[in-house]
């Protein structure tokens, strides 16, 4: 049976009293009544946690780089702010490599390749996972066409003259525009996917997770391209442009992260406390965003170009921070799903809005 809440309950213990319950069990023919907070449902957590492993973390990370680098290469090509197309070429190839690995990682996590195929049999507009599967597939086609066009232009398909002519005839501008829109979707939908669940910390951050993952995708893509182009001899002016764009994206990412504590409140405990909190603060916020951003700002104020070695190190720090960001959000979701008080707190907060 369930006991009703007393009207004279103090504010400090009102939430605790709201979830008071009693259970009656039979032990040796005698009845035993247990009073306490409703922490589980028949010894099961109130919310089922996601059993995602490293494949999904890497899939989120590479998918973000793929979408971000494709967008950057498209802007470089359409706006023509480079002479030799080095950035466009690097962005196209990088995007293709990352998006090629993404379905493999997703299928490995699903366990059976046919499960990925079955998700393509029906398009459900109200299912984020269904839209994500179709978006990933469509973006992969656009990235493949763009990469094939680039390979034909670079002479890599000269061994197959007919295929080279076909690829050069592709309306590349149209494909780039469509692929950029799909790339933005792929880069941000993983955050929307998390926030569409019943996990308290993910659901509470539903307005910020999509933009946060998108800004992280842009910063990691810019860092990847900056790191790759740093190995070229005459790419310093182009690398400096990427550094300025990277500073903007990192500032956006830090701004979104700074809004999380107030938005999440007590629900942000698994994200900001414990080992996960230390990793998030030190790995993503500190080493992955604040330190590279501060170092680049100091370099710009000094009026000197960033040395190649320093730029590579800073870019690798940004990439490590982006990987940690996705890892800690998944781990925080598991902890939040296992915390029944977080489930009750989230339901109470959402109930006030109604």
Give, to the nearest 10 degrees, the angle between helix 86-110 and helix 236-258: 40
In the CATH scheme, what is the code of domain 54-353? Answer: 1.20.1630.10
Q: Which residues contact 254 (CB under 8 A, 6 or more apart)?
A: 285, 289, 290, 293
What confidence category does residue 94 fall into, taking pLDDT thresholds of 50, 70 and 90?
very high
Q: Which residues contact 93 (CB under 8 A, 6 or more apart)?
A: 147, 150
For 147-180, write each residue's pLDDT tens digit. 999 999 898 988 888 888 998 888 999 999 999 9
What does the domain layout of the chain look like in residue ranges?
Answer: 1-38, 54-353
For 217-253, write each residue's pLDDT tens digit. 999 999 999 999 998 878 888 899 999 999 999 999 9
Q: For the whole prediction, is pTM greater than 0.85?
A: no
The arithmetic mean of pLDDT across residues 212-221, rounded, is: 96
């Amino acid at each position: 049976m369930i006991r009703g809440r007393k009207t004279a309950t103090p504010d400090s213990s009102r939430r605790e009293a709201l979830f008071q319950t009693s259970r009656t069990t039979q032990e040796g023919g005698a009845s035993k009544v247990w009073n306490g907070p409703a922490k589980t449902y028949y010894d099961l957590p109130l919310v089922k946690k996601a059993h995602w492993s490293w494949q999904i973390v890497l899939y989120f990370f590479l998918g973000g780089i793929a979408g971000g680098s494709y967008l950057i290469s498209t802007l470089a090509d359409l706006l023509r702010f480079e002479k030799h197309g080095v950035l466009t070429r690097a962005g196209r190839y990088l995007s293709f490599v990352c998006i090629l690995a993404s379905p493999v990682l997703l299928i490995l996590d699903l366990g059976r390749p046919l499960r990925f195929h079955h998700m393509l049999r029906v398009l459900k507009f109200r299912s984020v996972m269904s839209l994500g599967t179709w978006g990933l597939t469509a973006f992969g086609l656009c990235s493949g066409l763009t990469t094939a066009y680039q390979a034909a232009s670079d002479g890599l398909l000269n061994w197959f003259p007919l295929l080279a002519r076909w690829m050069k005839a592709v309306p590349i501008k149209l494909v780039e525009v469509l692929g950029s829109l799909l790339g933005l979707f792929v880069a941000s939908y993983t955050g929307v996917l998390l926030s569409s669940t019943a996990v308290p910390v993910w659901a509470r951050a539903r307005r910020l997770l999509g933009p946060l993952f998108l800004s992280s995708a842009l910063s990691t893509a810019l860092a990847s391209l900056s790191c790759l182009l740093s190995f070229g001899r005459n790419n310093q002016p182009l690398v400096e442009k990427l550094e300025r764009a990277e500073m903007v994206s990192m500032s956006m990412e830090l701004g979104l992260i700074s809004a999380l504590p107030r938005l999440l409140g007590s629900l942000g405990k698994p994200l900001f406390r414990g080992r996960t909190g230390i990793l998030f603060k030190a790995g993503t916020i500190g080493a992955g965003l604040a330190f590279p951003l501060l170092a680049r700002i100091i370099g710009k104020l000094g009026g000197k170009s960033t040395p190649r070695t320093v730029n590579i190190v800073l870019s690798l720090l940004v990439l490590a921070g982006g990987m940690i960001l996705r890892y800690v959000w998944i781990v925080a979701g598991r902890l939040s799903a296992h915390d029944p008080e977080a489930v009750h707190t989230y339901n109470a907060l959402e109930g006030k809005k109604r």
